Amino acid sequence: MDLNKLSDKDYNEYVKKKAAPSPLAKNLAWAFSVGGGICVAGQALLDFYRSRGLDEAMAGTAVSVTLIALTALLTGLGVFDRIAKRAGAGTLVPITGFANAVAAPAMEFKHEGFITGTSAKIFTVAGPVLTFGISASVVYGVILWLTRVL
């Protein structure tokens, strides 16, 4: 069977026959558990840093730095990818998901060298997110400013 010659409808039917059904409840439970675990770890870190005398803002910064560093380390060791494979969207808690999106391409292309590999490819996943996120925030900020001025 030549898949390139199938119509879109026939191809979709072929894929439905071949695709294994996803265990939705199990996937949801894993995503919820891992995502919730990351959030609980973040809260525990916040409480820890506050108990050490940091104010709320500094403790929040310390939590962010810690979660980013741990995610980058676990990505480099290949552990984060194994967790993400099982937990799916549960690992997309914004700060850990972003750290993984930066660290993973850097690790993947390190064999091409520091400049042409790691440095050039580090933002291949996160770059569009940053670009469109920053652009959207500027547009929304201008709209907000205009509504308050007018």
pTM of the model: 0.68
34-68 exposure pattern, b = at least 16 Cβ within 10 A, e = fewer: bbeebeebbeebbeebbeeebeeeebbebbeebbb
- Which range of residues forms the domain containing residue 65? 24-149
Q: Is residue 125 part of a domain?
A: yes
pLDDT band at residue 1 using 50, 70 and 90 as cut-offs: low
pLDDT-wise least confident of 43-52, 126-135, 138-147:
126-135
What average pLDDT does this structure show over 84-92? 87
User: How many domains would you assign to the chain?
Assistant: 1
DSSP 115: I
CA pair distance 119, 29, nearest whole angstrom: 37
Q: Is residue 73 part of a domain?
A: yes
The answer for residues whose C-beta is within 8 angstroms of residue 21's C-beta and 6 or more apart is none
Q: Is residue 10 part of a domain?
A: no
Q: Is residue 36 part of a domain?
A: yes
Radius of gyration of the CA atoms of the chain, in A:
21
Q: Is residue 14 part of a domain?
A: no
CA pair distance 17, 36, nearest whole angstrom: 34
Q: Is residue 15 part of a domain?
A: no
Q: Is residue 48 part of a domain?
A: yes
Q: Is residue 11 part of a domain?
A: no
